[in-house]
A and B are shown apart, each in its own frame.
Chain A
Amino acid sequence: MEAWVKFNQVTRAGSGGLRRILAAIAPGLLLTGLLAGCATAPPPSDTANYQAYEQQNDPLEPTNRVFYAINDKIDRYAFKPVAQGYVDITTVGIRNHVGDFITNIAEPGRLVNFMFSGKPRDAGTSLVRFVVNSTVGIGGIFDPATALGYPETDTDFGLTLAEWGVPEGPYLYLPVFGPSGARDVTSLPVEFFLTPTEAAPESEALNIFGYSETALRLVNTRAQYIGPIDQIQATALDPYATFRSLYRQVRASQVTLINQRDVPTQPDWFPAPAK
C-alpha cells in the first residue's frame, strides 16, 4: 500500500540532469499552484465538517487536485504502459535484483540522514548494508546484508526533520513528484546531493549512468505497484483522498520503524555496570 509514496520517492531521487531540471522547475510550479487557489474552510460551528477539514490538513486541495489529475494522465499514458511492457519481458527475480541495486545506491544518503537525525544504530545498519551489498552483493545486485540481520530501513530528509520534531504541515501534491507535504518537500534539494554519483566529478559516462539508473528506477518501481495502484483507482470513491491518506500513514509508519530499529544494545564485551 505504500505504492504511490515509494513511486514518489523514486521520482524525487532521480539522478543527473533530469533531477536538476525537475528541482529547478518544481518551486516555480509550486508557486503557481499556491497562487491558483485554496480550499474554503467550513465554519467552526459546522462541527463534523470543520473537524474533517482540520484533519485533512490540505488547504491547497483545489490546486493539489489539478496536479493530481495531470500526474494521473502522465502515469496512464507514459509510466504505466512502459512498466507493463517491462513486466512482460522480465521475471520477478530480475525485478527484485534491480530493486536491490537501486536501494543500495541510495544507502549513503540514508546513512547521512540517520546521522543527522541522531540514529546511530540505523546509521550503522546503512553503512554495513552499503559495504556488504556493494562487495559481497556484487555492486548491490544482491542483498546479503538482510540475511545477515541488517534489513533496509528507509529514510530521507523529511523524516530527519520529523525526528527533529518538525510537524508534517499541510499536504502538497507536486507536479511530477507526487504526494508530499510542507515538511517533506524539503527532501527535494537535499536528496539531490545525497547520491554517490552526485559527489563524483562530472563526466559523460556518469551522466549516461545517471539517466539509465533513473529510468530503470522509475520503471522498476512503477512495475512493482501496478496491481495496488490499479486497485485503488478502481475501488476508491476518491482516489486523490485515498493516496493522501496512504501517504500520511506510510510516512508515520516510517518514523515508527526508524525509532523501533534504533534500539541501543549492549555489546558482549562491554563490562557490566557496577552495582
Chain B
Amino acid sequence: MLLRRLVLGAFASSAMILSVAGAAAAQTVPPDAAKAFITSAGQQLVAVVNSNASDDQKADQLRQLVDQIVAVDQVGDYVLGRYATVATPEQHQQYLGLFHQLLSYNITYQIKAYQGVTFTVNGTSQMGNDTIVDTTITRPGQPAADVGWAVEEVGGSPKIVDVIVAGTSLRVTERNDYASVVADNGGQVSALLNAMQGQIQRIKNNG
C-alpha cells in the first residue's frame, strides 16, 4: 500500500514538474529568434518614426505596431502588481484600457525626439524567462544609448515585455510609480484609475 502511494506520488509530482518545466520552456524565446524579432520590430519602428508622414499618422501607425510587438496586457498586469488582487474585475478591465492609452501617448510623446534614429542589434543574454536583446540606439545630436529589450513568448509569438536602460527596468519603474499612487491613497485602486484618467486628460489638453 505504502509502495503504491509512493509510486503514484512520485508519478504525479514528476508529471507536475514536467508540465511546469514545459510551460516555462514554452515562454522562453531562443536567442536567435529574439534577435531576429527585435531586428524586424526595430526596423519597423525606425521606418515609422523617420517617415515623412504627419505626427498624427505616425502616432496611429505606432499604436498599431506597439500592439503587435509589445505584450501590453501582460506588462499592464505586471505594473499593477499586488493590487491586481485588490482590484475588482471591472476596475481591472478599465485599468488595462487606460494602460493601453497611456502607453500610446507616452510613445507618441517621444516621436519628435527620435527623428533620425538608427539602431544596431548586439548580443543576447538570458534573465529568467526573458531573453534580453542588447541594442545601441543612436540619435542625431545625442550620445549613443545602450538599450536592452526583454523578449518573452506570449500567445505563441515573441513579444517585448520590458525595456532596460542603464540597469533600470521600465516595467519595474512603472510598477513603483503606480504602486505609490495607490499606497498614498489608502490602497484604493480607484485612485490609480483617476490618476491615469487625469494624466490622459492633461496630455490631450497639452497636445
- Interface residues of chain A, those whose CB is within 8 Å of chain B, are 1-2, 42, 46, 48-49, 51-53, 55-56, 92, 96, 224, 227, 231, 234-238, 240-242, 244-246, 249-250, 252-254, 256-257
Which A residue sits closest to B178, measured CB to CB?
Answer: A237
Residue of A nearest to B163 (CB): A1
- Chain A residue numbers with a CB within 8 Å of B102 are 235
| CB within 8 Å of A: which B70-121 residues | 82-83, 85-86, 102, 105-106, 109-110, 113
Q: Is A242 within 8 A of B177, CB to CB?
A: yes
Is B181 on the interface with A (CB-CB < 8 A)? Answer: yes
Is there contact, CB below 8 Å, between B106 and A49? Answer: no
Taking a contact as CB atoms under 8 Å apart, the answer to whether B109 and A250 are in contact is no
Report B-chain residues with C-beta under 8 Å of the C-beta of A224.
Answer: 143
Q: Count contacts between A and B, CB distance < 8 Å.
A: 96
B182 near A92 with CB under 8 A, answer: no
Q: List, in ascending order, chain A residues with CB within 8 A of B192's CB.
A: 237
Q: Tell me, yes or no, whether B12 is within 8 Å of chain A by CB.
A: no
B52 part of interface (Cβ distance < 8 Å):
no
Say which residue of B82, B142, B172, B176 sits within 8 Å of A48 (CB atoms): B82
Please indicate which of the listed interface residues B102, B179, B181 has the most CB atoms of chain A within 10 Å of its own CB.
B179
Cross-chain pairs A/B with CB under 8 angstroms, 17 sampled: A1-B165, A1-B166, A1-B173, A2-B166, A42-B186, A49-B182, A53-B183, A224-B143, A227-B142, A231-B113, A236-B177, A238-B184, A241-B176, A245-B168, A249-B167, A250-B168, A253-B168
B137 on the interface (CB 8 Å rule)? no
Secondary structure call for the A interface: helix
Cβ 8 A contact of B183, one of A2, A56, A234, A245: A56
Contact A52 B166 (CB under 8 A): no
Q: Is the CB of B167 within 8 A of A49?
A: no
Question: Which of B110, B167, B183, B196 is close to A52, meaning CB atoms less than 8 Å apart?
Answer: B183
By a CB distance below 8 angstroms, the chain B residues around A245 are 168, 172-173, 176-177
Docked complex Cα distance between A2 and B166 (Å): 7
Which residue on B lies nearest to A228, using beta carbons?
A: B165
- Closest A residue to B141 using CB positions: A92
The tally of residues in B whose CB lies under 8 Å from a CB in A reads 35
Question: A2 contacts which chain B residues (CB < 8 A)?
Answer: 166-168
What is the bound-complex CA distance between A129 and B180, given in angstroms? 41
The CA-CA distance from A111 to B60 in the complex, in Å, is 51
State whether B143 touches A92 (Cβ < 8 A).
yes
User: Is there contact, CB below 8 Å, between B85 and A48?
Assistant: yes
Chain B: minimal CB distance from A257 (Å): 7
Interchain CA distance A227-B184 in the complex, whole Å:
28
| Set of chain B residues within 8 Å of A1, measured between Cβ atoms | 165-166, 168, 173
CA separation between A48 and B189, bound complex, in Å? 11
Looking at the assembled complex, report how far the CB atom of A206 sits from the nearest CB atom of chain B, in whole angstroms: 31
Q: How far is the CB of B163 from chain A (nearest CB, A)?
A: 9
A51–B192 CA distance with the chains assembled, in angstroms: 17
Q: Kindly provide the distance from the CB of B174 to the nearest chain A CB, expressed in whole angstroms.
A: 8
B169–A249 touching, CB < 8 Å: yes
B187 touches A49 (CB 8 A): yes
Interface string of B154-177 (1 = CB under 8 A from A): 000000000001111100110011
B residues less than 8 Å from A55 (CB atoms): 179
> Quick check: B143 and A249 within 8 Å, CB to CB?
no
